Amino acid sequence: MGFRPELNVMSLSDAAAERVRGVLAGAENPRVGLRISIEKGGCAGMSYKMELAEAGPGDEIVEEKGARVIVDAKAVLFLLGTRMDVQTTQFSSTFVFENPNQTSACGCGESVALTPADPARLGGDDASSRTPGVA
């Protein structure tokens, strides 16, 4: 078995990192990050939840491009290989997730169906879906 470099659960686009840094700039506690979790709900079964929080036991911390994202321990396998980006229109800006573990999404894009990642599948870039979150 060969050496395998440490992999981040998620990666951030330049735009996502900039937006996360902006969100965290107002936080009084420097240990706070943008915490991402998965909760049951919506017509597709699950949705992304984001909040400002400190890391809890078992959470994964992704520090990339000066941005700090905390992935809830229970969400790690559902978010493995995900790329976080920002989608901006004339009237709004929102985080979007390019998640290879997403099998479908509801029509409005507020909820998704996710399957846990197969760790053996890691390494490829097969992110084919973009689902909006909250910016």
Q: What is the pLDDT of residues 95-112, one digit of tens each?
A: 988 888 776 666 666 666
Residue ranges of the domains in the chain? 10-132
- What's the confidence (pLDDT) of residue 40? 82
CA–CA dist 8, 128 (Å, integer): 19
pLDDT tens column, 4-36 = 445 678 999 999 999 999 999 988 888 899 999
pLDDT digits (tens, 9 = 90+) for 58-103: 999 999 999 999 999 998 888 888 999 999 999 998 898 888 877 6
CATH among 3.90.180.10, 2.60.300.12, 2.40.37.10, 2.30.33.40 for 10-132: 2.60.300.12
